[in-house]
Structure 1
Amino acid sequence: METYQQLAITRFGEPAVLAMQTQMLPALADAQVLADDQVLIKVAYAGVNPIDAKTRAGLGWAAAQNKDNLPWVPGYDIAGDVVACGQSVRRWSVGDRVSGFIGFPLQGGGYSEYVVVPAAQLSPVPASTPMRQAAALPLAGQTAWQALEKAAVKAGDQVLVLAGAGGVGHLAIQLAVARGAKVFASCSAGNADFVRQLGATALDYRQGPLDSQLKDADVLIDLMGGDVGTAALGCVKAGGRVVTVPTITAEQVCEQARQRGLQAEGMLVTPSVTQNDAMMAMLAAGTLSLHVDAVYPLADGAQAHQAIESGHTRGKIVLAVGGDA
């Protein structure tokens, strides 16, 4: 029987707790390995997200719920090829290129050479779209999309996006611009040109408090949380809207926002194939760009986690599972 490799969290802690493990791949001729509505994917690339690193460190709900299930394979973004289909699957055929936001929030599984996925969770990957981009899009893209929806961003709004050069941030900028908003984004000086190219006004957070650089934002999309998110509330005008994404500090940021007379709420992304389909089409049409900052081999996942925890990545990081690093 054929084997395949996964990268798993063996215990909670530093990136070094990630380790490769070997699994047995059931014979593809055995139809019983898949439920009727499932497909087997040979993964080319897997996206790496901050939630992966937080879970590995033992933080957050996914870690709490999986503490007795270690080793546990993280990863919610995948892109790859269909290699087998359940008996009732009609949309997909062997050889189709697909991507998806899978196993969220408790199952994970994306850091793996093969993964079984409900067919309904997948989107087609156009031939013109690189698989590494398709793997980087789902979680970050849907987080950005849903944050803007929750904040009811509309044409003419002034929107501040924290961490504008990051995975979610650089997509949120573009989606907000597409809605007709005037976008400001916090970033380092080294990322200012990158942020401007996406359509935002860059605010260098090292050049003084953000609320000394912007005062009348209608909307804050807080992708930092904690003290950084709280400090940025001073940029929002009275009655403005705040959506904070980091769940660990959401209550803190929202309470401070309400004390300032702002509308505020946290959010947890909900997987949406419809949104993934729409953004995949935008990538193919060139109306949305996705920057992949680095690609690491699956076995080097610990280095990928170190990079994402540095807080200084531009765009997304992906793991080359079956594709080229």
Structure 2
Amino acid sequence: MSSSPLPAPHAPRVPARMRAIVLDRFGGVDELVPRTIDVPIVGESDVLIKVSVAGVASWDAVERQGEYEDAFGIASTFPYVLGWDAAGMIAAVGSAVTRFAVGDRVYAASMPVPRGGFYAEYGVVAEEHVAHVPERLSMAESGVMAWDALTALSGIDLLDLAPGQTLMVFGASGGMGHMVVQLAQQRGIRVLAVSSGADGVALSRSHGAAAVVDGRLHDVVAAAAAFAPNGIDAAFVTVGGSVLEQALRAMHPSGRVAWPHGVHPLPATPPAVPILHFDGDRSRAALERLNSLIDAGTFTPHVAQRFPFTRVQDAHRALREHHVGKLALDVAGDDAETV
């Protein structure tokens, strides 16, 4: 059921049409094209966000290629708008919304199916999946954060490690991994960061990892044995592969592995310890808890590169190249905040 948005006094009028980056069919990078489309309808429990910055993530490329078709039990329709993460300003609210008002700075974790994502000037999302931008974070940092940070927090909760226990984070300099390192370190967990490249090693060190190893250059199993001679208590996986399978041999017999759904490839040979598959919690309670942790600590998403709205194809090409942290799309153009 839909309802009319409730405008605030003197609020800018929401247009009927908006700029968006769309897919007319699934496929390669060249299928991402600019288009003017209808602004999405705001339901009674929804907010409409005027997007400032949208996150560009690895799963966007997978979705662009059609790999998520039928995954959500809803048929895809075109034009199709990608974008799961964003930050911006509330432009309108549904009649049942109580926590947000027009003009609020917010970030959100949405899903492109069935109402479209955040590669657009406006995005609609249920109030449940929206939070206020923390005071010390920029729009860009908040805009790339939601899904990775919430999944990181869910996995750390699932592992339930005590302060002083050990955690190997595999892919520790990537989009989700660098957030896992920070949230685990904030909880007093000793982190072995398996990172990538000199910049990735530097990033993990700056986030307080107790030890860091470049997984492309050095022996991860030896590093793990030196870090925890009796075995590592837990692992958090953000990327699979043969090096990971070898590294999981360093787990303590009572250890366990947090493995988010969607991380591939899955191990060809299962490790000797349990793998706990899970999804990120994007509920109101999870978002509020994440904001509390941000307010209480130094957690900061790392934005490696920002792309103008019209260079979205370059942003997707960059997903295939080495980078640390997150990539961002400046939907608001020249009005977007700097990092």
Q: Do the two structures share a fold, i.e. TM-score over 0.5?
A: yes
Match of 2:31 among 5, 17, 30: 17
Which residue identity does 1:49 align to in structure 2? A
> Where does 1:278-297 land on structure 2 (aligned, <5 Å)?
278-297=289-308
In 2, Cα distance between equivalents of 1:285 and 1:67:
42
1:100 deviates by 0.9
Judge conservation of contact 1:79–1:97 (CA < 8 Å) in 2.
Answer: yes
Match of 2:202 among 193, 198, 202: 193
Which residue identity does 1:195 align to in structure 2? S
TM-score norm. by structure 1 comes to: 0.87
Match of 2:239 among 201, 224, 237: 224
Which residue identity does 2:51 align to in structure 1? V
1:272 deviates by 2.6
Counterpart check, 1:145 vs 2:159:
no
Match of 2:288 among 244, 261, 277: 277
In 1, Cα distance between equivalents of 2:114 and 2:263:
17
Return 5+ residue gaps in structure 1 as ranges: 27-32
1:108 deviates by 4.9
Which residue identity does 2:49 align to in structure 1? I
Identity rate of aligned residues, in percent?
A: 28
**CA deviations over 1:212-259 (Å, ceiling 9, x no partner):** 221321111111123343232122122211122252647x438612xx
1:290 deviates by 1.5
Return 5+ residue gaps in structure 2 as ranges: 1-14, 226-230
In 2, Cα distance between equivalents of 1:213 and 1:48:
32
In 2, Cα distance between equivalents of 1:108 and 1:263:
36
Which residue identity does 1:210 align to in structure 2? V
In 1, Cα distance between equivalents of 2:76 and 2:301:
36
* Count of matched residue positions in the alignment of Structure 1 and Structure 2: 314
When the two chains are superposed, the root-mean-square deviation of aligned CA atoms in Å is 2.5
- Higher deviation after alignment, 274-283 or 107-116: 274-283
> Where does 1:153-164 land on structure 2 (aligned, <5 Å)?
153-164=161-172
TM-score norm. by structure 2 comes to: 0.84
Q: Cα 1:34–1:13, aligned 2, differ >3 Å: closer, same or farther?
A: closer
In 2, Cα distance between equivalents of 1:144 and 1:202:
19
- Higher deviation after alignment, 111-120 or 223-232: 223-232
Question: Counterpart of 1:247 in 2: which secondary structure?
Answer: coil
Question: Counterpart of 1:16 in 2: which secondary structure?
Answer: helix
1:122 match = 130
In 2, Cα distance between equivalents of 1:281 and 1:248:
27
Counterpart check, 1:207 vs 2:222:
no
In 2, Cα distance between equivalents of 1:282 and 1:269:
16
Instruction: Judging by fraction of residues, say which structure has more helix.
Output: 1
- Higher deviation after alignment, 278-287 or 240-249: 278-287
1:281 deviates by 4.0
2:10 match = none
Which residue identity does 2:42 align to in structure 1? L
Question: Counterpart of 1:214 in 2: which secondary structure?
Answer: helix
1:29 match = none
In 1, Cα distance between equivalents of 2:114 and 2:58:
15
